[in-house]
Structure 1
């Protein structure tokens, strides 16, 4: 980097923070572009969680026998974004952040339109949905890789925490708006679930092309790190595909961890990822700037972010399972209505985040991010413990309080931590730094879902048959145990998630001679909204509590790492002090 970088960066700031002819400061234009992209991406990510039953019905496919499509629709988006963020982050440093950001908007819009127009049905329709969603993910990776860098370029150090805090509010708000929108729109037409993002995508594309400018300090043109890109993408894809298929049944096993293809995929993926830092330390223009980890604030903040993302990545999914599959049916809600009400009942998490994120961002601008972010992780640790100590038939105010505390803690951690990472690097490295931060977080989120899935599925596999037999015996219907025990653990888990009572479909498939021999009172009890949730809870809750305890431990570790980052480090300030020193 040349010696005149600070002077050029300061000169760039003078033009950045000037007013347009219309009187709007550029920093607010940049923030509006980023927030539109953030809201659009996060709404798109969560809306599908709620609307999957309607989507699968719309393309005429049985979700309980199409587990692989379910997993790819849930996890495919995260796999693609995790593998591409680093590449787009580095390219944006070389060719312009605004350029890559705008192109991401356009590709995302095309993917959204294609999802709405999905022509196929059955397996063909499911594959088309997955492909179009992966295309969406390419566009999402382009603007996700640049969002934090664009805000860091546009806002001075004294306001970065506030700007990133507002963007973090958009992240969680979008997730929960998606949950509620998915529940409402799926009632009318499953295609509306994908159409709803198109107007925002079109507006965002036009707005970014009209107003977003190249104001960043460009990195010198360099060769694209082809070897590093191939190694990283192949390693991460193989690893995440192995994890995904490890969650699927294999032959007579409820999960596929013993599959030779899964073992080979995981082994090769790990090997390639181990080779990646070695390659990056030797190539001329690495995509992953290992030297940035020499900056204490950058390294500890990123590692704390990684660990906390593993803790929280699968939490939303687990909480939706708890609400949709157990608590809401036990409290009189029909299975068809549980997706919408699950989104509504999780709103305290959003409220806590919205309250804490902008306030903590502004406080970190004034007092530094170290202890605010650390305190946030300690609060999240407490919320995990509160959730682990609750019974499955909890009082809602207790659950809402735990969610609010979790949202507030994550809000306290998120924006100061992001500001700490982005402020610690040179201006011409912000694109790759943003890509590194997002890559670590997205990889951790996908891994987290796989980890929590595995814990829960293993627990249900071991406990569900016994819980089923005991519950049937209490009804005087022990003879049905061999029949109803045929429900696979993954089928029971996803029946809960998708808002189905699998008992009804199994009884409907039995020969009339068997059904007629079952007392009507027994059939009524089995098909009620309480029997299956209560039976599932006995097998589900021990593993769910274990996942919450693991989340608490990980958040406590993240708090320690956060405290180890040291005092506030702003690259521009330290660069000037080094210049001023003799």
Structure 2
């Protein structure tokens, strides 16, 4: 039986119980995946020490542990979104919980050490990423199915707040758990995974529109996965040293990988336009709201994707040591000092969702992007030895802006498509964002590494001369820019490691007062800051430009639009009487 179903009538007949059951499940999945991402970010020093890896010479493992997860989720979510439209969103959501939990357990049990241990962690993180792709491809679609049109912005706002809060809960948990045992960093996801798996199998019901006659777009999937994988692999290895170069952009394999990736990506739209059942619905971009909101979301993610890493480098590698914090304690305190960003999102996320339900998402999301752009400019104006009040206010402003933009933008995208396309639309949203996040990380890293490469040797020589240790310039100036950046990111002073590798007679010739300065908590951060800050400011200016352009596109999306949908009566799946109402279109 076909009927036109109102989200409002569904919510009323289904009652409060089921939609909040869905909300709890989706929040648990979001918390689990976001905590996992940030807890790994903040705990890398403990993880590297636990598996006995020298952080100064392991930049490739850093990139793969951080970016491999994003690479896998970005390439798989589109296909998983289409699979959910065929086989049911709840079924694949449950599978995602199970796979993610298995990956977390394997990470906790990581048997190897050294290079083998690092490779095992990367492999197990990829298993986690497969589970996360199932979860992230379906979370927004499940909420859109369960909540009426009049409450979707609020529901997606609450979910977004939970996800963003999880990122910063992870920073705190990582700082605390890593003190006791690095394995606890991965174990913390297991209770969420077990509870979510059991809860979803017992409580979730398949109420979404399914189209089992739809075929898998095999060619489109292969081309898309190959293109994105090739591009992201090229970006990843482009950030690694190659020969005598600080970065690998001249590596022939990187060049070939990027050419192949972009060539396949250019062909992909033509394949999808001719596919019987395309995985990436190009026709959805004919919907003005869908198109402009997705592009604005992409630009927003490009602006803020690398922001977290840059701010943590700034705190752990420069600001906290300068203010007397030991290198061992900086990961934890970096998480604490990032809390205003979380607070801004928590305050504004639900409010913006409710306001967008009432007034539409257009101007709320647009103003959020304007605030984010302004926050980037404020951060760019700060000196490296800033006062925390100014820094806290700037990142709180950033949180307010992100909270205002994210949930209204997602709600407008999901409302603009029909129920049978919600799975693929949810997958498209998350794929766009995750791809932008990974590209943003690579872009920010590139800007900073290039800046440090140009300025770090000169800054090192000048700084050594100022303390009467110019004889050490040939040794310490040879610290690779990636090593300096990695040291800052992990919150440790590489000078002690380098001095310990020098001949004893050479080190003994250095005055003790000079050695104390070199191995203290202020000399290296000040030296690094001279090379780091110009590049950091450039990345913030670029982030502001992305947000400003995104604000313009967000304002052009048009008035609130809700797709008129003809769907199979999903209420009958719950034993409810079907109801016929028109979907509102504003």
Give the alignment's TM-score, normalised by structure 1. Answer: 0.96
Contact 1:9 1:217 in 2 (8 A): no
Pick one of 37, 53, 59 that aligns with 1:67: 59
Partner of 1:517: 509
Distance 1:561 1:326 in 2: 36
Aligned positions of 1:156-167 closer than 5 A:
156-167=148-159
Partner of 1:237: 229
| Residue-by-residue CA offset, 1:152-192 (whole Å, 9 max, x unaligned) | 00000100000000000011100000000000000000000
Verify: 1:210 aligned to 2:198, yes or no: no
Pick one of 196, 200, 206 that aligns with 2:192: 200
Distance 1:407 1:580 in 2: 32
Q: How big is the shift at 1:579?
A: 10
Verify: 1:134 aligned to 2:126, yes or no: yes
Distance 1:203 1:578 in 2: 38
Local SS of the residue matching 1:571: coil
Runs of 4+ in 1 over 6 A off after TM superposition: 573-581
Distance 2:202 2:583 in 1: 38
Distance 2:490 2:516 in 1: 22
Distance 1:416 1:409 in 2: 12
Distance 1:227 1:45 in 2: 31
| Residue-by-residue CA offset, 1:109-155 (whole Å, 9 max, x unaligned) | 10000000011111111111100000000000001000000000000
Q: How big is the shift at 1:60?
A: 1.0
Partner of 1:466: 458
Partner of 1:367: 359
Q: How big is the shift at 1:221?
A: 1.8
Distance 2:354 2:135 in 1: 24
1:207/1:170 Cα in 2 relative to 1: closer, same or farther (>3 Å)? Answer: same
Partner of 2:572: none
Aligned positions of 1:25-36 closer than 5 A:
25-36=17-28
Distance 2:93 2:5 in 1: 21
Q: How big is the shift at 1:9?
A: 3.6
Aligned positions of 1:74-113 closer than 5 A:
74-113=66-105
1:15/1:560 Cα in 2 relative to 1: closer, same or farther (>3 Å)? Answer: closer
Distance 1:556 1:219 in 2: 40
Distance 1:347 1:200 in 2: 22
Distance 2:526 2:136 in 1: 41
Contact 1:219 1:429 in 2 (8 A): no
Distance 1:507 1:579 in 2: 70
Q: How big is the shift at 1:515?
A: 0.9
Distance 2:11 2:202 in 1: 16
Contact 2:419 2:565 in 1 (8 A): no
Distance 2:516 2:111 in 1: 40
Contact 1:104 1:138 in 2 (8 A): yes
Q: How big is the shift at 1:69?
A: 1.1
Q: How big is the shift at 1:573?
A: 7.9
Contact 2:10 2:148 in 1 (8 A): no
Local SS of the residue matching 2:564: helix
Distance 1:303 1:415 in 2: 15
Partner of 1:277: 269
Aligned positions of 1:16-27 closer than 5 A:
17-18=12-13, 25-27=17-19
| Residue-by-residue CA offset, 1:440-482 (whole Å, 9 max, x unaligned) | 0000000000000000000000000000000001011111100
1:271/1:578 Cα in 2 relative to 1: closer, same or farther (>3 Å)? Answer: farther
How many residues are aligned here?
573
Partner of 1:414: 406
Q: How big is the shift at 1:572?
A: 3.3
Unaligned 5+ residue runs, structure 2?
A: 568-579
Local SS of the residue matching 2:274: coil
Local SS of the residue matching 2:145: helix
Verify: 1:486 aligned to 2:478, yes or no: yes
Q: How big is the shift at 1:219?
A: 2.9
Partner of 1:155: 147
Give the alignment's TM-score, normalised by structure 2. Answer: 0.96
Distance 2:542 2:108 in 1: 39
Q: How big is the shift at 1:578?
A: 9.2
Distance 1:314 1:384 in 2: 12
Higher RCO (Cα < 8 Å, 6 or more apart): 2
Distance 2:581 2:11 in 1: 23
Aligned positions of 1:45-60 closer than 5 A:
45-60=37-52
| Residue-by-residue CA offset, 1:247-268 (whole Å, 9 max, x unaligned) | 0000110000000000000000
Q: Identify the range of structure 1 (480-489 vs 219-228) with the bigger mean alpha-carbon deviation.
A: 219-228
| Residue-by-residue CA offset, 1:25-47 (whole Å, 9 max, x unaligned) | 21100101000000000000110
Verify: 1:357 aligned to 2:349, yes or no: yes
Distance 2:311 2:89 in 1: 36
Distance 1:126 1:574 in 2: 51
Unaligned 5+ residue runs, structure 1?
A: none
